[in-house]
Amino acid sequence: MIYKPRMESIELLILKALDSRICLSSKVKQLYFNLKKGYEGEILFDSLTEQLQCECLILNDLLLKQNNTLFQIDSLIIMSDTIYLFEVKNYEGNYYYESDKLYKIPKSEINNPLIQLIRSESLLRQFLHSLGITIPIHSSIVYINPEFTLYQTPLDKPFILPTQVNSFLKKLNKSSTKLNEKHNRMADKLILHHIQDPPFNQLPSYKYEEMHKGITCVNCTSITVSNMGKICICHKCGFEEAVEAAVMRSVEEYKLLFPEKKVTTNIIHEWCKVVKSKKRIRRILSENFKIMGVRQWTYYE
Ligand SMILES: [Zn+2]
């Protein structure tokens, strides 16, 4: 049972919006690509764990603090006598393992996720201990991408390779685990301590004036969306969306990028650009938000 669902991080959402509307430097583009790829891998793993029929509590994406040190957990499955901790990696291509180091072929060393896993497990154990909880932790790195190959994989490392994910989960599913109130309390405590707004990596600075105005496509994120009657159509992928939904999405995007600015009819009319009728924008805003202020000072919350 999914006890805590995964959401796209604010950082990823901001980068997605920026990527459609400004020209990102290659460094920021790489950051966006890595975050997006990681998130896709986690979602793929979630789609498998959510099929578990055994009694368990699944907590996806936890950010906790122990001894003033932040640590992030991709996936945690609480079963009766063990907590399973998963670090999910969406690496693609050919890699090899040598002297406790991980290399992408031909020869570029990348961070060994095992170090991160050992650190997370240790911090989680201390964290649980501080709450008076003692339970064995079983940690693994899940390589989720079907196009990932790891040569020279040592047998004694806690790696779950793409061809092993299903059998690992099948085995979990077969265990006769019974949960009680104690497990729910443990899950609640973890969620209570989850840090909602983590510090961001380096986001670029941006200004409203330099952004492409228009509506981004919900399917392919391109900004080549036009409005015809009650429908918005993407010229890149052909995706169609009701104009109200598209405008509301754009408002959320605007609020995400400019949380300090007020939402007004004029600004959203300019922001969405392709919806020519200001009256329509005003109607959508007034139907979906609380109207604050009067006349030319009206804004929406
Ligand atoms: Zn599209």
pLDDT of residue 114: 96
pLDDT of residue 66: 96
Centre of ligand 1 from the C-alpha of residue 234, in Å: 5
pLDDT of residue 200: 73
Centre of ligand 1 from the C-alpha of residue 20, in Å: 11
Centre of ligand 1 from the C-alpha of residue 214, in Å: 13
Centre of ligand 1 from the C-alpha of residue 10, in Å: 22
- Residue-wise pLDDT for 243-286, tens only, equals 999 999 999 999 999 999 999 999 999 999 999 999 999 999 99
Q: What pTM did the predictor assign?
A: 0.89
Beta carbons within 8 Å of 195's beta carbon, 6+ residues apart = 63, 64, 65, 70
pLDDT of residue 65: 95
pLDDT of residue 103: 97
Edge to edge, the sheet with strand 93-98 lists 108-110, 101-104, 93-98, 148-151
pLDDT of residue 270: 97
pLDDT of residue 297: 81
pLDDT of residue 296: 79
Strands 137-143 and 83-89: parallel
In terms of residues, how long is the chain? Answer: 301
Does residue 106 have a cis peptide bond before it, meaning omega lies within 30 degrees of 0? yes
Centre of ligand 1 from the C-alpha of residue 238, in Å: 6
Centre of ligand 1 from the C-alpha of residue 244, in Å: 17
pLDDT of residue 285: 95
Centre of ligand 1 from the C-alpha of residue 236, in Å: 5
Centre of ligand 1 from the C-alpha of residue 241, in Å: 10
Centre of ligand 1 from the C-alpha of residue 184, in Å: 42
Q: Report the C-alpha gap between 40 and 8 in whole angstroms.
A: 10
Low-confidence ranges of the chain (pLDDT < 50): none
Centre of ligand 1 from the C-alpha of residue 17, in Å: 14
